[in-house]
Structure 1
Amino acid sequence: MTPPYLKNLTSIQAKQQLAEYGANILPEAVTPGIFKIFFRQFKSPFIYVLLAAAILSYLLGQTINAFFILVVLILNAAIGSIQEFSAEKAAMALKKMVPSTTTVIRDDKTIIINTSDVVLGDLVLLVSGDKVPADIHLSSSQDLQVDESMLTGESIAADKSLQNRGSSLSDNHQYCYAGTVVMKGRASGYVMSIGANTEIGKIAADVKEQQTKPPLLLRIEIFTLRITYGILILITLIFVITLARGNDLASVFFLGVALAVSAIPEGLPAAITVALAIGMRRMSKVQVIIRNLVAVEALGSCTYVASDKTGTLTVNEMTIQLLLLADGSQYNVTGEGLDLNGVVEVVEPGKANILLLKLMMHAGILANESYLEKIGEDWHGQGDMVDVAFLVLAKKNGIDYKEARSRYPQILQIPYESEQAYCATLNMVEGEYHLFVKGSVETLLKMLDDGYSIDIEVKANQLAGKGYRVLGLAYTILDSPPKSLEETLHGLTFIGMVGMIDPLRPGVIAAVADCKRAGINVAMITGDHPKTALALAEQAGITNNNANIINMQAVTGKELEKSHEKGSYYFSECVHSTNVFARVSPHQKKQIIEQLMHDGDFVAVTGDGVNDAPALSHAHVGIAMGLRGTDVARESADIIITDDDFSSIVNGIEQGRIVYSNIRKVIFLLISTGAAEILLVIYSLLFGTPLPLFPLQLLWLNLVTNGIQDVALAFEPAEGNELTKPSRLPSEPIFNRLMIERVVVNAIVMGTLAFGVFKWQIDQGLDEDAARNITLLLMVLFENVHVLNSRSESLSIFKQYFFGNKFLLFGMLAAQSVHIGAMYTPGLKELLNLSPVSLWQWLVLLCIALLLIVVDEIHKKWLSNS
């Protein structure tokens, strides 16, 4: 079948197609609506207990209690659903911040556009790592293999060619389908179907996005389940004891409801959801886009970061600075990056070899798939930056790559793939078939004849030891074009080698040092020469990052392979013997990550290529590059770094630690106040007094006054010591020994003082309702004060910026205002047995509440000293 379009579209035609047929987008998965999220709020063990309490209250004639519990539960569900709905919307918006792009030819120019702007008839260029943007009819194909498992279920990549072999999807070798992934090779083709009309679009309505709950939320659910079981056991024990004492069934049940309401932190799930959503938004501001909530928690837990070199630690602006030709002549190249004003100068005048130099220039720009375009006053490179560096080099030497490619047309090609470490091209040059090969020196050495006059390997090692990335070039002349270029890769003539630099990104040295202070091990995994990798690692401070290794050396892929063959013990020893891995294949990268995880590290790994996908998906946290990352790498990752900068990863780790710390603050506030309320009930049993607070008053305390404040803790800023704390173990429970100790101390203070005030009033002959009114106000004030204690586990509140969290200040004022307002509101004050208090009473209660700060400050001081 002949493609219906014989050439590429113009910009005007593309606009017309877009207007007529719409954008190239699939029907979006239906997100749960606000009502579905609302009813989802009732799926909690906490809520089940409270619903049971409401039903039993109604059956026992406590209609007002039952009604109020239901009202509070509905109010809580409404607040939680609004917060969760907003969080889901924010998460979806963040995912769209890194749009997928596609390379097309329009107006006879190669351009990159958003995949949504691809139109019918567009001429699309595909390379390994690309996700196919639409259903495409191939017009050219070079060793193309496509993963179509999402459509066909076949795990083996499909070979593509220009010949059709059947009617089924897997047999249509002339076609590439939207959503499939190019695993190898190059191709071009015309768009036949877009959006909902593609093969994947036809089944998109049946495809549901799989959502996995973050481990943190799973741990919280387990934690809440345990609390629920604990409450039921406690209620059962007290039920038996009080009945044995002769209490009537109704009063015993009333006591059980009070205990249940006291112990249950009803606002916890909503507060944690908000904290995670806030973390996602904060991370996006430091160039870290979270693709799922798992990574918000996980990134802050990292103990090991395995980073790429090029573009992550370095700026990804290759500059060729040195040329060494086969005859021994050497040239220096001036100018940096895409600056074309530099010159190529021979080091020893009189030794210049113009013909050999010209041959190197042509080899570098013909075995090359990149482009160099002038936009306005600036030059912009498109494609692999190593290839772009060769285009810049040729320009400095007066050779235009477009003219050379036009004059010497390409016949066959072997595109560059990381596993093979070379690329090759066969071009017609002045009536002859010239084969040019460009790649790593180790790879080229196996292809050369014996006629070169310099020790290539020694020279390459010398350059690599100075931090240069070294590439070699070779060529030969063939009598006729072969069926396959691979069969001609022997007996080549060496042209020379180039030394290029890619400087460290600003801030990398400081970021690596921050990781060391935070107890995070940083390693570099690269395909470069070991000497080049080691030199750059020394500059970045990576070789000093691990105090356990003295005189660190780079470990190569060959060394990894040998140790792996010996067994897991030797492989583990090899992996932990260095922080610099060079000449490593993508499969070995995955093996390194798996070994580190097996040995107990919590690993984050960066990647950008199609072959990095296994490592990205296997690591605890996969980090893809937003600028140079392939579609498949971004799809496999948990996190996308929009500026490809290692410093952004460290910023993300810091933000992840802040999020986790804020979640602990919320949990501490809710559990400690709940424990204080339980203590109130237990004291009343021990001393034989009436209940200090009724269940309705406890619900009011938990859901209204406390509920206004707890979410505000999720907005807490950094304390400033996030990157000086050691990494926490992934197995460390949220409710650890430190939190348990703090909960016990603060709960005892609040519960004891509140019960003391209640009992004193009863002993003075005060009415029970009046005593409860004062006790409830004291508990509200305790919560106002306690939220300040919760801002840090170790830092004194007097060393914190008081106005650092405006949401918290607003929450404190709102909680107090709502409660005082309820004292004057008809209907509500009768329901809650509230009455106004004098200013003098309020001030006395505030002074009692402030004692909680004194005790917590003493406890923090004691903890810091011990």
Structure 2
Amino acid sequence: MPRPRQPSWATLFVRQFRSPLIYLLLGAAILAHTMGEAADTAFILAVLFLNALIGAIQEGRAGASAEALERIVRQTARAEREGQVIELDAGDLVPGDLVLVESGAAVPADLRLVAGSNVLVNESLLTREAMPVAKLADASVPALAAVADRETMLHAGTTIVSGRAKGVVVAIGMHTQLGAIGTSLRSSNAPLPPLMTYMKRLSRQIGLMTVILVGVLAVTMLVRGTAPDQILLLAVALAVSAIPEGLPVAVTVALAVAGRRMAARHVIVRTLPAVEGLGACTVIATDKTGTLTLNRLSVEIVLTETGEQIAPTSMGASIPTLRRIAWAAAACNEASRSSAGEIIGDSVDVALLRFAEKAGGMERNVRLALMPYEPKNRFASVAVRSESGIDVLAKGAVETILPMCDAVDDRVHRAAERLATDGYRVLALAGTAVADVDAVDLAHPNGLALIGLVGLLDPLRPEAGPAIRACRSAGIRVCMVTGDHPATAMAIARQLGLAHRDGQLLTGAEMERLATNTDALQAAVRGARIFARMDPSQKLTLVEALRADGEVATVTGDGVNDAPALQAADLGVAMGLGGTDVARGAADLILTDDNFASIVAGVEEGRVAFANIRKVTMFVLGTGLAEIGTFVVALLAGLPMPMTAVQLLWANLITESAQTAALALGRGEGDELARKPRASGGHVVDRAALALLLPPAIAMAAFAGGLFCWELSRGNTVIESRGSVLLATVLFQNIFALTLRSEGRPIWRERLTSNPWLLLGVAAALLIQSAAFTITPLAGLLGIVPPDLASIVVCIGGAVLTLAAAEAAKFARRGRALPQDRLIALM
């Protein structure tokens, strides 16, 4: 499906004029024009243009980042061309291609089914029918049948719930059934993410308080004889300076920047709120295979039907028993070689096929019927014809296959348990000869004879252990969820340092028994670190139990049956390499390297993003409060207005903007993974934030009011005095922004280059203000003159005063800081 086009720059520019504050500024420009203030009118209009231009650039870059991230996650398809199976981009399919799909795959085009086995498809996107529907290649379908009645068709955008199928492409892109409704799908308006909703609500609340306060100031000035037109112009300027209308855009920019950084660390963000959501994560329930391990399974041990081990040195030898086990492993297998000679398929099947090739078990067989492997069944079965006749073979978990066999030596059970305890993934192979394939139910085979067992190993990722320890430091509990035998799961958990005693392991069967007792289930889940022999439905139960217990759960998954758990979790993480299309579609994040360490990197970036949003918010609110406070002090002291409307707009929209944007680009303080998770649902502006922003804002307001009074007492004119106040305001912005690089560490312990963009922003603000004092036309427009040396020294002293207030607030916060009592002892 072609992606919807991003808005043009012109559209983005025009969109910036839909803000209520923009309407206020337009009103101020009209008012200034009617007052005959041509210079003020030109300045306000120039500010409007510049503000719209900056907003369009920021929004455009954020949209481009999101679009670039979407392009990273490609949908691929398996197609037969010239007798070879190849993997290609779904966008490269053409009508006439033969496409192979299996459970978990998204159908890449409209396909006419030519072959299929137990095919169930979720067509809810097209038909709104929640239940999967069966598809049959030989069904008879009327020519004008409705979409829901086309049993021989697989439609683009639908997903394969179970089974395998082959179909010929009959329509692609906008010519598919999904393409026909694509326009209506794209036109639907998605609800705002929670964080954006909160920021908009915060802006409205602050706006309401500002309007009330400005109204009080306006009445006071009117009583004192100030001209009504001047009051109106000043009221607009105060409202613009104090109402944080740009916060939602700043948040979007911060999240988009974090999304790009996450992509560089192998985490693709499908929804922007997921960026900061990771910062609140308290538990990660992760798969084992491919996430904690390298997903490079290999057969390391082979046991005969009596439990005897075949020496590893004999793997390539021509031993009849070994060859029969290898033959069964190759025959009951869905992996195949591509045209490039690479073995493609499920990791277990790939490992078994490599083993079979090495052990000489690659005999010619004709597959007569297949029961594909599905996680809920824990086995696969097949009927094949060989030179010796027809055989039915089954492959799967030991506890699933052995009950299908007539007689099993007790030594086999003991040997399998021993291998599982040593960390091997153990599979059993069994089979029997039959006279007629139609007499066999592949879904329920029985009367088989055990052929042998294979023990597979998947090396642990070297970075998995350190990543788990990093989670422990960050106050995040890590749980391993696997379908493996409990002994295998516990052995691997011990190697990772994830668990050390059997009481930390819970099986899917034990969870089923506790399902009716919510308190007991939550207590069991709370104490467990390893969840073994888990079915997808039990994984969903686990997620629900974690969330009911107050956890913010991040869950990984790769299969079609993982989709419900991924959707139920606070954050779903799908695998980009080994995951299914369904899992990726249900997830909030996608790992391009399927690596657990990348999740931890994502958590770190998520915490950095939230901290940046918080710093931007504190900076905008703190400077706005300081400016309003300056007017309050001046009015209480019976002084003239300390700044004009144009000067306020200059300070708010020119010198402040560069620093606001730079704060959103911070790379963190370096200790993000040493802190506990923030409270779920916690506000950006909480008591701690107010405690950090109010003291410097109050100090600045008091100082600026006192500075204005001092300048007037020295015999300076109002214009000269206002220039000093404007300089003090800019210096306050500089110092306050620099102190906000860290909420805890004092400014002198923070590296000067910790946020180089902020240094550039501060330098830009100082240069712009210096230009305003020295360029005569600009100084005349702002109504200022350069302050003398004494005034400059006093203004620098005011900056030092606000620095002291900010650092005192940090010191008080450090003194009140509590130990990280929420850190979970993963022992």
Give TM class, smaller chain.
over 0.9
**SS of equivalent residue, structure 1 residue 704:** helix
What is residue 385 of structure 1 aligned with on the other side?
347
Q: Distance in 2 between matches of 1:324 and 1:553?
A: 30
Shift in Å, 1:204: 2.1
Q: Distance in 2 between matches of 1:534 and 1:318?
A: 18
**SS of equivalent residue, structure 1 residue 486:** coil
Shift in Å, 1:250: 4.5
**SS of equivalent residue, structure 1 residue 425:** strand
> Share of identical aligned residues, percent?
40
Q: 1:102 aligns with which of 58, 77, 80?
A: 77
What is residue 425 of structure 1 aligned with on the other side?
382
1:734-813 to structure 2, matched below 5 A, reads 734-813=684-763
What CA deviation, in whole Å up to 9, does each residue of 1:396-437 have, x standing for no partner? 21333xxx2xx2100000000111010001001225210000
What is residue 22 of structure 1 aligned with on the other side?
none
What CA deviation, in whole Å up to 9, does each residue of 1:474-496 have, x standing for no partner? 10111201166336611111112
Distance 1:78 1:487, change over 3 A: closer
Do 1:46 and 1:228's aligned partners in 2 also have CA atoms closer than 8 Å? no
Distance 1:483 1:68, change over 3 A: farther
Q: 1:164 aligns with which of 130, 136, 140?
A: 140
What is residue 136 of structure 1 aligned with on the other side?
111
Shift in Å, 1:759: 0.7
Is 2:304 the counterpart of 1:343? Answer: no
Shift in Å, 1:267: 3.8
What is residue 640 of structure 1 aligned with on the other side?
590
What is residue 421 of structure 2 aligned with on the other side?
465
What is residue 809 of structure 2 aligned with on the other side?
859
Amino acid at match of 2:716: L
Shift in Å, 1:56: 6.2
**SS of equivalent residue, structure 1 residue 726:** coil
Unpaired stretches in structure 2, ≥5 consecutive residues? 817-827
**SS of equivalent residue, structure 2 residue 419:** helix
Shift in Å, 1:157: 1.3
**SS of equivalent residue, structure 1 residue 143:** strand
Is 2:153 the counterpart of 1:175? Answer: yes
Distance 1:846 1:235, change over 3 A: closer
Is 2:394 the counterpart of 1:437? Answer: yes
What is residue 567 of structure 2 aligned with on the other side?
617
Is 2:278 the counterpart of 1:299? Answer: yes
Q: Distance in 2 between matches of 1:599 and 1:309?
A: 23
Q: 1:278 aligns with which of 239, 257, 265?
A: 257
What is residue 480 of structure 1 aligned with on the other side?
436
Is 2:492 the counterpart of 1:567? Answer: no
Amino acid at match of 2:140: N
Shift in Å, 1:152: 2.0
Compute the TM-score of the two structures, normalised by the length of structure 2: 0.93
Q: Which moved more, 1:813-822 or 1:506-515?
A: 813-822
Q: 2:326 aligns with which of 342, 353, 361?
A: 361
What is residue 491 of structure 2 aligned with on the other side?
535
Is 2:90 the counterpart of 1:115? Answer: yes
What is residue 603 of structure 1 aligned with on the other side?
553
Amino acid at match of 1:770: E
Shift in Å, 1:372: 4.7
Do 2:553 and 2:571's aligned partners in 1 also have CA atoms closer than 8 Å? yes
Shift in Å, 1:726: 0.4
What CA deviation, in whole Å up to 9, does each residue of 1:584-623 have, x standing for no partner? 1111111211221222111111111111111112211111
Shift in Å, 1:371: 2.5
Is 2:637 the counterpart of 1:680? Answer: no
Shift in Å, 1:713: 1.2
Q: Distance in 2 between matches of 1:487 and 1:858?
A: 72
1:72-91 to structure 2, matched below 5 A, reads 72-91=47-66
**SS of equivalent residue, structure 2 residue 527:** coil
Shift in Å, 1:57: 6.1
Distance 1:843 1:239, change over 3 A: closer
What is residue 360 of structure 2 aligned with on the other side?
398
What is residue 822 of structure 2 aligned with on the other side?
none
Q: Distance in 1 between matches of 2:686 and 2:746?
A: 20
Q: Which moved more, 1:58-67 or 1:161-170?
A: 58-67
Compute the TM-score of the two structures, normalised by the length of structure 1: 0.89
Shift in Å, 1:806: 2.5
Shift in Å, 1:270: 3.0
What is residue 99 of structure 2 aligned with on the other side?
124
What is residue 660 of structure 1 aligned with on the other side?
610
What is residue 818 of structure 1 aligned with on the other side?
768
**SS of equivalent residue, structure 1 residue 792:** coil
Do 2:330 and 2:361's aligned partners in 1 also have CA atoms closer than 8 Å? no
What CA deviation, in whole Å up to 9, does each residue of 1:91-114 have, x standing for no partner? 101111121111112232222111
Distance 1:488 1:242, change over 3 A: closer
What CA deviation, in whole Å up to 9, does each residue of 1:38-92 have, x standing for no partner? 3433444544555565566667777765664444233212211111011101110
Do 2:104 and 2:583's aligned partners in 1 also have CA atoms closer than 8 Å? yes
Q: Distance in 2 between matches of 1:560 and 1:60?
A: 76
What CA deviation, in whole Å up to 9, does each residue of 1:368-408 have, x standing for no partner? 01125696xxx8431111111111211221333xxx2xx21
Q: Which moved more, 1:130-139 or 1:836-845?
A: 836-845
Shift in Å, 1:764: 1.7
Q: Which moved more, 1:598-607 or 1:851-860?
A: 851-860
Shift in Å, 1:153: 2.1
**SS of equivalent residue, structure 1 residue 715:** coil
Distance 1:556 1:780, change over 3 A: same
Amino acid at match of 1:731: G
Q: Distance in 2 between matches of 1:788 and 1:98?
A: 38
Do 1:434 and 1:478's aligned partners in 2 also have CA atoms closer than 8 Å? yes
What is residue 192 of structure 1 aligned with on the other side?
170
Amino acid at match of 2:556: T
Do 2:86 and 2:339's aligned partners in 1 also have CA atoms closer than 8 Å? no
What CA deviation, in whole Å up to 9, does each residue of 1:242-267 have, x standing for no partner? 55667664455455335423422344
Amino acid at match of 1:225: R
**SS of equivalent residue, structure 1 residue 446:** helix
Do 1:138 and 1:174's aligned partners in 2 also have CA atoms closer than 8 Å? yes
**SS of equivalent residue, structure 1 residue 591:** helix
Do 2:370 and 2:381's aligned partners in 1 also have CA atoms closer than 8 Å? yes
Shift in Å, 1:648: 0.5
Do 1:320 and 1:498's aligned partners in 2 also have CA atoms closer than 8 Å? yes
Shift in Å, 1:829: 2.2
Do 1:527 and 1:585's aligned partners in 2 also have CA atoms closer than 8 Å? yes
Q: Distance in 2 between matches of 1:487 and 1:737?
A: 61
Do 2:206 and 2:244's aligned partners in 1 also have CA atoms closer than 8 Å? no
What CA deviation, in whole Å up to 9, does each residue of 1:745-782 have, x standing for no partner? 11022112222211101112211011001110121122
Do 1:136 and 1:176's aligned partners in 2 also have CA atoms closer than 8 Å? yes
Q: Distance in 1 between matches of 2:256 and 2:463?
A: 28
Do 1:326 and 1:496's aligned partners in 2 also have CA atoms closer than 8 Å? yes
Distance 1:839 1:106, change over 3 A: farther
Do 1:148 and 1:158's aligned partners in 2 also have CA atoms closer than 8 Å? yes
Amino acid at match of 1:216: L
Do 2:85 and 2:339's aligned partners in 1 also have CA atoms closer than 8 Å? no
Do 2:562 and 2:583's aligned partners in 1 also have CA atoms closer than 8 Å? yes
Q: Which moved more, 1:72-81 or 1:616-625?
A: 72-81
Q: Distance in 2 between matches of 1:538 and 1:55?
A: 73
What is residue 520 of structure 1 aligned with on the other side?
476
Q: Distance in 1 between matches of 2:48 and 2:558?
A: 47
Is 2:289 the counterpart of 1:310? Answer: yes
Shift in Å, 1:710: 1.1
What CA deviation, in whole Å up to 9, does each residue of 1:241-298 have, x standing for no partner? 5556676644554553354234223443332222111101111110011112111111
Alignment RMSD (CA, Å): 2.4
Amino acid at match of 2:56: S
Do 2:75 and 2:90's aligned partners in 1 also have CA atoms closer than 8 Å? yes
Shift in Å, 1:453: 2.2
Do 1:266 and 1:702's aligned partners in 2 also have CA atoms closer than 8 Å? no
Do 1:426 and 1:433's aligned partners in 2 also have CA atoms closer than 8 Å? yes
What is residue 214 of structure 2 aligned with on the other side?
235
